[in-house]
Amino acid sequence: MWDQLRVDHGREFYMCLYMQEMLSRHRHNLSRSPYLQTTSKRNLRVERLWTEVNNRVNYPLKQPLVHLLDQEVINMEDNITKFCISNLTCQLSQIGLGRVVQSWNGHRIPDMYKQELGSSLTWASDFDTDPFSCEDRCHAEQDFAENYPDISLLFYHVVNNDYTPFQDALLNLMNVTQRHV
């Protein structure tokens, strides 16, 4: 517990700010506010890591999606399209982020947190609601897996500037979802 936490104006510190506020009465120096948001004076290691995550995971996945949108192949007003994009892109992002974390040689704090408290700070959010019933989901997942048994290959292609397999998989997922919903 810190008497005061200093952060910049980025959103990645919301959980820290929340906890500082919740536990503020336990601080030693109550004359200071529990946190102070200021302009970052220098990039710390964690800020450099966000840049690396964006460059190695987020931007490579975003480019083929923007291309499909620009070519009017996908309609972002359609709920099934939004769900499928969210679903597949989140899975590929997890693969990519796992690779980035491995390359950093991992940090022990999340494991320690989970071991000690029995939970994690992960917040899962879907871009749109799940359109499936339980049985329909199983059939759709089987159909998709027949054509794409190893989705990590999709991420491999994307980060090597070959967007077609990811785009084809996304269109296939949208077709499979339409059939089973």
What single string gives the DSSP state of each residue in 15-34? HHHHHHHHTGGG-S-TTS-S
The pLDDT value recorded for residue 35 is 76
Please report which confidence band the pLDDT of residue 29 belongs to, taking 50, 70 and 90 as the band edges.
Answer: confident
Structure-derived torsion over alpha carbons of residues 88, 122, 60, 75, reported in degrees to the nearest 10: 40
Is-contact 34 21, C-beta < 8 A? yes
Coil, helix or strand for 61?
Answer: helix
Q: In angstroms, what CA-CA distances link 134 with 89, 129, 144?
A: 21, 14, 16
User: What integer best gives the mean pLDDT of the chain?
Assistant: 82
Q: Structure tokens of 146?
A: 């027949």
139 or 113, which is more confident: 139
For tokens 């759709």, what's the residue? 140
The pLDDT value recorded for residue 8 is 73
The pLDDT value recorded for residue 56 is 92
Q: In angstroms, what CA-CA distances link 78 with 40, 49, 83, 85, 181?
A: 40, 34, 9, 11, 14
Q: Has residue 125 got a pLDDT over 60?
A: no
pTM to 2 decimal places: 0.63
The pLDDT value recorded for residue 115 is 72
Q: Structure tokens of 124?
A: 């899962």
End-to-end, the C-alpha distance of the chain in Å comes to 49
> What value does the mean pLDDT take over residues 96-124?
67
- Rounded to a whole number of angstroms, the CA Rg of the chain reads 21
Helices 59-70 and 152-159: crossing angle in degrees, nearest 10, is 80
Return the beta strands (E) in 21-167 as ranges. 35-37
Q: Within 10 Å of residue 124's Cβ, how many Cβ atoms?
A: 5
Looking at mean pLDDT, say which of 32-36, 45-49, 152-156 comes out highest.
152-156
